[in-house]
Structure 1
Amino acid sequence: MNATPPPHTDSDRGVVPAVGKALEAGIVVLFIAVLTTTLYGGVVPDARSAAGDEVGERTLQHAAASVEAAIPAAAQASAVGVNRTVAERRVSLPATIRGERYRVTANGTSLVLVHDRERVGGRTPLVLPDTVRSVRGNWTGGDGLVRVTTHPDGGLVVELAEGSA
């Protein structure tokens, strides 16, 4: 019972290159799948978070500079009229950071960026003249408005408002 294998024919030799190419293609597809999984599983999300953090910091700095610049240097703290608008300034901020909405909130004499992602956010102090009594309001991304009005007891109030006047 010693069986000998059948002899190879010319048609068998024609299959060898096709099988080799199929194996090469399979290895390439496997390599791309492993590489994609590795990148999207760790490297890309970390890079997006780092970029989101940087955009958040720049947005917060731009917002603070806009609030500070909206207060006129020659504004009279004892201007006539209660809640009279002294100045307004439009502020353009990104609509989203890292693909999600965010909020810039006035907190005492600082601005705070609040975002769903833990790494994106922060706080920056405002440098304001002594005539400013309070800063209030918030922006939720996109266009905002800084409105400076007089306070009934003297001084100025800075308000962050959504959109346009």
Structure 2
Amino acid sequence: MSVRRRWCGQRDGRTPKGRTDRALSPVVGKALELGIVVLFIALVTTTFYGDVIPGYRTTAAAEVAERTVVDAAASVEDAVPERTHRIDRRVAVSLPATIRGDPYRLRATSPANESTTALVLEHPDEGVGGRVTLSFPVREVAVSGTWQSTSESWAVVSNDGGRIVVTLENGRNAASGVVNAVAGGAP
């Protein structure tokens, strides 16, 4: 019987060497597996939020900015009628309030050495922006002004002697004769 006691080790209150060590190894193994899974999830999350997602947001915002400036330029070009002797027209232009969560502005610019005017989108994120050259089917057209994305935008067209003047304005306007246009649509 002494041989039997030595193998079982339970009858006399003694435990054989190594049995307590084996009882702890599944717990340690599962803790290590859980630690590896948590480390993997943390690594994937850091990669996505540190590199992949901001890069995607900037790329998507750049596409939205490009579409916005093209649509706004089309609205400005459509606001100018082909044949007129007397013009007094206000066209509402719909712009997204923010791009990539930030407000932006559209500015008419005409370089000193060129006769063309361009519409430029300026955004706080330098990866987001756009520029479109405006072209009009009629005689000389002067475009000036700035649109802020946070308020209503208007293209005000008037006749200034021998040329047509388009002014980009912001704010509410309750004047009659207002033509509504979605950016990119015809007035």
TM-score w.r.t. length of structure 2: 0.71
Gaps of 5+ in 2: 1-15, 111-116, 174-187
Q: What is the CA-CA distance between 1:163 and the residue it aligns to?
A: 3.2
Amino acid at match of 2:163: G
Secondary structure in 2 aligned to 1:131? coil
Structure 1 counterpart of 2:141, from 133, 140, 146: 133
Contact (CA 8 Å) 1:132, 1:158: kept in 2 or not?
A: no
Rg bigger for which structure? Answer: 2
Amino acid at match of 1:92: S
Structure 1 counterpart of 2:50, from 34, 41, 46: 41
19-28 or 49-58, which deviates more = 19-28
Distance 1:139 1:112 in 2: 10
TM-score w.r.t. length of structure 1: 0.80
Contact (CA 8 Å) 1:90, 1:164: kept in 2 or not?
A: no
Aligned counterpart, 1:82: none
Matched, 1:106 2:117: no
Could you report, residue by residue, the CA deviation over 1:33-76 in whole angstroms, capped at 9, with x for unpaired residues?
11112222222222111111111100100100110111123322
| Number of residue pairs aligned between Structure 1 and Structure 2 | 151
- What RMSD over aligned residues (CA atoms) do the two structures have, in Å? 2.2
Secondary structure in 2 aligned to 1:54? helix
Distance 1:130 1:7, change over 3 A: closer
Secondary structure in 2 aligned to 1:75? coil
Q: What is the CA-CA distance between 1:7 and the residue it aligns to?
A: 4.8
